[in-house]
Amino acid sequence: MKKSIKFLSLLGFLCLFILPGTALAIDPPTVNDIPEYVDAELYLITGKTEPNATIVISGGQYNMAPVETDSSGSFEIIFNLVQNDTNTFYIRANLDGETSERTEIVINESREEAEKLADEGIDAIAPDAPVLDTYEIETDETMVSLTGTGEPGSNIVIDGEEEIFINVIDDEGNIAINVFEYDQNAVNTYLVYARDESGNISTASNLTITHGDPSLESTIADPFTDIDGHWAYEYIEYLRLAGVISGYGDGTFGPNNPITRAEITKIALGAFEYLISNNVTENPFPDVEKDLWYAKYIKAAQESQIVEGYPDGTFQPLNNVSRIEALKILLGAGEIDVGTSENIQFDDTEPGMWYSTYLSYAVENGIVQGYDGNLFKPTQDITRAEICKITVKIIELKEDLDSLPTI
């Protein structure tokens, strides 16, 4: 049963004063030098941070899966670029529960300006896209050969979910590459693109290699590939089956990653069955463009007075959400009357604060709990897994109150 967005309980939650953060032990990731302008639809960024850390990416038009660094702390990220525009992304490093400050990445896409740089000896123009002789292959073999043409001297990349194959296109522009399939009795999907030594990447095409009988492919017990054995598995799976959450494009969910204002807005509206219009004709906030994936959720929440922006008028959709902010957002979205009790306090919280009634209600009703040492860590970034637990607990509470049907 759907309902209209009508309550005011979260009015102004984004106008709350900025809570003090804790010191961050990880230095922000550093990235390679980026030309002032590039001519490309995809662009490769390389960088360094702590070894074996996770790089969390935000910004742009698409959700992007986290990237793991290697034992030396090196990483690579491929960004999709909006053409003839300034593309801004942010990356953070996570390691052992610590999160770095974010690093801003700005990539200006303009063919005209990139050509001017080329005159100065700066390579900022993507290679021509490779052309394969076929993009759909059916085979029973464990190896296939791909042929085609491309820009001489650039690398052709065949990028799959678990394998990446790279070959150099010869001086005459000929492509010849053998691809070993990693998944039997399945449809294997790859992206095919060319990449030059400067990190410029051509447009990409889809390649499918169907091996054997896809109907024989074994089913995967866990829809997300990185939640098996995780403490929040049941909460995550509950919301996935309800259509409230989705993972990254590589099949992962990233349960330990922080969550942004845009992402929690979507979850809050979806979990409690608010109507969302796909027709967004204007930017809901100056920093929320109408064509971005999260614009419709923020617009719906704004129109129903669930959210407001900061005093400067911005929404800052890519900022992370703290534990205490998330608690208020989700309790408010569930239309929970938290009452006036402030009985529950932790050594790092204070009575009489804006969050006191939300915190007391949540602890008293088993929605959240604190850490050892009587700490709640209210300003710590909340994780995607923690969001799932709180959301499910509130849904269960509402079912007990017989206020909403199950989703």
Q: How far apart are CA 289 and CA 49, in angstroms?
A: 31
**217, pLDDT greater than 60:** no
| pLDDT recorded at residue 162 | 59
**401, pLDDT greater than 80:** no
Pairing of strands 67-68, 54-59: antiparallel
Banded model confidence at residue 185, pLDDT cuts 50, 70, 90: confident
Say which DSSP state 404 is in.
S
Q: How far apart are CA 308 and CA 330, in angstroms?
A: 15
| pLDDT recorded at residue 301 | 81
Q: What are the backbone angles phi and psi of residue 331, rounded to the nearest 5°?
A: -65, -40
**10, pLDDT greater than 70:** no
CA distances for 328 relative to 235, 272, 378, 394, angstroms: 19, 14, 11, 12
| pLDDT recorded at residue 19 | 38
Q: Which of 237, 299, 224 is nearest to 269 (CA)?
A: 299
What tens digit of pLDDT does each residue of 34-46 get?
A: 999 999 888 889 9
What tens digit of pLDDT does each residue of 323-381 get?
A: 999 998 899 888 888 888 888 778 888 888 888 899 999 999 999 988 888 999 988 99
Domain with CATH 2.60.40.10 in the chain: 30-119, 131-216
CATH level 2 (architecture), domain 131-216: Sandwich (2.60)
Q: At 391, which helix (H) or strand (E)? A: helix 384-400
Q: Do 60 and 129 touch, CB atoms closer than 8 A?
A: no
Q: What are the backbone angles phi and psi of residue 202, rounded to the nearest 5°?
A: -75, 175
Q: How far apart are CA 278 and CA 163, in angstroms?
A: 36
| pLDDT recorded at residue 251 | 82
| pLDDT recorded at residue 44 | 87
Averaged pLDDT score across all residues of the chain: 82
Comparing 58-62, 112-116, 355-359, the range with the smallest average pLDDT is 58-62
| pLDDT recorded at residue 222 | 43
Which parts of 126-173 are beta strand (E)? 131-132, 136-139, 143-149, 155-159, 164-168
Task: Identify which has the larger pLDDT, 168 or 15.
Answer: 168
| pLDDT recorded at residue 405 | 37
CA distances for 374 relative to 42, 349, 365, angstroms: 48, 10, 17
Q: Which amino acid is at 263?
A: E
Pairing of strands 164-168, 136-139: unpaired
Beta-bridge partners for 86: 108
Banded model confidence at residue 391, pLDDT cuts 50, 70, 90: very high
Q: Which of 76, 64, 55 is nearest to 263 (CA)?
A: 64
Residue pointed to by tokens 């002032």: 36
Q: How far apart are CA 327 and CA 298, in angstroms?
A: 18
Q: Which amino acid is at 321?
A: V
Between helices 261-271 and 384-400, what is the axis angle to 10°?
A: 20
Q: pLDDT above 70 covers what percent of the chain?
A: 86
Q: Do 337 and 358 touch, CB atoms closer than 8 A?
A: no
| pLDDT recorded at residue 274 | 82
Task: Identify which has the larger pLDDT, 231 or 304.
Answer: 231
**3, pLDDT greater than 50:** no
CATH code for the part of the protein at 30-119 = 2.60.40.10
Average pLDDT for 9-34: 57
Q: How far apart are CA 6 and CA 328, in angstroms?
A: 17
Q: Which of 141, 220, 225 is nearest to 179 (CA)?
A: 141
User: What is the C-alpha end-to-end distance of the chain, expressed in Å?
Assistant: 8
Task: Identify which has the larger pLDDT, 219 or 198.
Answer: 198
**12, pLDDT greater than 60:** no
Beta-bridge partners for 105: 89
Q: How far apart are CA 43 and CA 126, in angstroms?
A: 8
| Contact partners, residue 400, CB within 8 Å, separation at least 6 | none
| pLDDT recorded at residue 390 | 95
Task: Identify which has the larger pLDDT, 2 or 277.
Answer: 277
Residue pointed to by tokens 């001017």: 116
Q: Which of 109, 102, 4, 12 is nearest to 49 (CA)?
A: 102
Question: Which tokens go with 178?
Answer: 């053998």
What tens digit of pLDDT does each residue of 236-253 get?
A: 999 988 888 888 767 889
Q: Do 181 and 211 touch, CB atoms closer than 8 A?
A: yes
| pLDDT recorded at residue 14 | 35
| pLDDT recorded at residue 150 | 92
**382, pLDDT greater than 90:** yes
Beta-bridge partners for 92: 56
What tens digit of pLDDT does each residue of 129-177 get?
A: 999 999 888 887 777 888 999 999 898 988 876 567 788 898 899 998 8
Q: How much is the pTM? A: 0.49
